[in-house]
């Protein structure tokens, strides 16, 4: 598993190509040769870029779902809608397919935000709005999500 760090701003060219920040490319160096999967995010109007190893781990979980249960089948269809395999080109650029650019509202200014093992790709204005909205209740959210996590070694929460 790869743990990515940082938020990076870049520009998309007329063809939808992004130049990946060098510090992010260094973090991705161990997985660059494997390629990536890009898809629509589930909860936000952004894209998710999965290193192939992370995607394969996710697909192992999805493949355990019983396809004869309608909600599982519906989930799989929606989760994989618009999924594409992508690679960085020789110049270190990532081409975002047109349909995914439209979904995320990506025009020129783009924010790449690490999200543990994946990278979220946002239109910068949408990213700033999402961060501003999330800031309003982040303390409460942090308490709900992380407040009951116990450290295994010393029992401190």
Domains of the chain in sequence order: 7-144 (3.40.1550.20)
116-131 average pLDDT score: 93
Q: Is 142 exposed, middle or buried (0-12, 13-18, 19+ CB in 10 A)?
A: exposed
pTM attached to this predicted model: 0.86
| Alpha carbon separation from 20 to 62, 66, 95 (Å, rounded) | 29, 38, 10
- Short-list 11, 12, 35, 29, CA closest to 88: 35
Return the residue matching tokens 């390629």: 35
Instruction: Evaluate if residue 95 carries a pLDDT over 90.
Output: yes
56: pLDDT confidence band, cut at 50, 70 and 90? very high
- Short-list 139, 144, 100, CA closest to 120: 100
């Amino acid at each position: 598993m790869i743990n990515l760090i940082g938020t990076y701003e870049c520009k998309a060219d007329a063809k939808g190509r992004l130049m990946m920040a060098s510090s992010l490319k260094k973090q991705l160096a161990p997985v660059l040769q494997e390629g990536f999967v890009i898809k629509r995010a589930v909860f936000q109007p952004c894209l998710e870029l999965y290193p192939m190893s992370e995607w394969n781990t996710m697909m192992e979980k999805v493949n355990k779902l019983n396809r004869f249960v309608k909600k599982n089948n519906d989930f799989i269809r929606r989760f994989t809608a618009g999924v594409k395999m992508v690679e960085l080109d020789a110049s270190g650029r990532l081409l975002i397919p047109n349909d995914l650019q439209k979904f995320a509202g990506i025009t020129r200014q783009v924010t790449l935000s690490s999200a543990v093992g994946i990278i979220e790709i946002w239109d910068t204005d949408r990213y700033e709005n999402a961060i501003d909205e999330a800031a309003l209740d982040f303390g409460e959210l942090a308490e709900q999500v992380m407040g009951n996590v116990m450290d295994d070694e010393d029992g401190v929460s």
